[in-house]
Amino acid sequence: EDQVTQSPEALRLQEGESSSLNCSYTVSGLRGLFWYRQDPGKGPEFLFTLYSAGEEKEKERLKATLTKKESFLHITAPKPEDSATYLCAVQAPNTDKLIFGTGTRLQVFP
Amino acid sequence: DVKVTQSSRYLVKRTGEKVFLECVQDMDHENMFWYRQDPGLGLRLIYFSYDVKMKEKGDIPEGYSVSREKKERFSLILESASTNQTSMYLCASSPRGQGVNEQFFGPGTRLTVL
């Protein structure tokens, strides 16, 4: 069964304290892996798409990487405004549907 | 920029009422989706539409129906609202069948059923 698991469920960081969020997936023939950011009470906001193992994408303090079994979202020197829930999703072959993980809730304190 | 809008940000309804949630996208996307999001359960797909008048059940379709009469509009209908349908409802859209298709989300509707 196709599945996405995110860890940790919650992460508390001091401002400037770099860390990584993990997204493990089991899907045959991954078409794409997506990262979203979701602020409380709002819809998810698209961040990155990764297509194949070894690929990396960067946006400001965020860098997403992909291997054959997992993806990492690295957060370098985070700021309080990076506080949000980060969602990972995968797209399997022959479908336009996505499978979502349950997210990592990140809190960054000044 | 892709824009997905939802008719209400907050909605309060009574048990047994018929509820309509509307979603409109302006990017000419073929695919539209309805999810509900609950703490600890993540996003669960209710229904998916890949074209006008076409629909496919998602993981949790019971108690819901959908309508897609125009390409840009996708409606979710709760035939007889129940308290266990209190949730955040999210609409999304994406292009169809072009390889890797990120979905773009609306702001969500927080529905409370009393």
Per-residue tokens: B69: 């009469």
**By CB neighbour count within 10 A (0-12 exposed, 13-18 middle, 19+ buried), where does B21 fall?**
buried
* pLDDT band at residue B98 using 50, 70 and 90 as cut-offs: low
Average pLDDT of chain B is: 94
Q: Output the pLDDT for position B100.
A: 77
Q: Output the pLDDT for position A89.
A: 96
Cβ–Cβ contact B102 with A under 8 A = yes
Cβ–Cβ contact B16 with A under 8 A = no
Residue of A nearest to B59 (CA): A99
CB contact under 8 Å between B102 and A46, yes or no, is: yes
Q: Output the pLDDT for position B14.
A: 97
Measured CA to CA, the distance from residue A100 to residue A35 in angstroms comes to 10
Q: Output the pLDDT for position A102.
A: 95
CB contact under 8 Å between A87 and B42, yes or no, is: yes
Q: Output the pLDDT for position B40.
A: 86
Whether the predicted pLDDT of B2 surpasses 80? no
Cβ–Cβ contact B90 with A under 8 A = yes
* Among A99, A64, A88, A65, CA closest to B33: A99
Q: Output the pLDDT for position A2.
A: 84
* pLDDT band at residue A104 using 50, 70 and 90 as cut-offs: very high
Whether the predicted pLDDT of B101 surpasses 90? no
pLDDT in tens, B27-65: 999 999 999 999 888 899 999 999 999 999 999 999 999
Best of B36, B101, B110 to disrupt the A interface (most A CBs within 10 Å) is B101
Assign 3-state DSSP to chain A and report helix, strand, coil percentages, each to 5.
5, 55, 40
pLDDT in tens, A20-54: 999 999 988 888 999 999 999 999 999 999 999 99
Measured CA to CA, the distance from residue A22 to residue A65 in angstroms comes to 10
**By CB neighbour count within 10 A (0-12 exposed, 13-18 middle, 19+ buried), where does B1 fall?**
exposed
Candidate from B4, B96, B107 with C-beta closest to A96: B96
DSSP label at residue A60: T
Give the A:B interface size as CB pairs under 8 Å. Answer: 56
A34 contacts on B by Cβ (under 8 Å)? 102-103
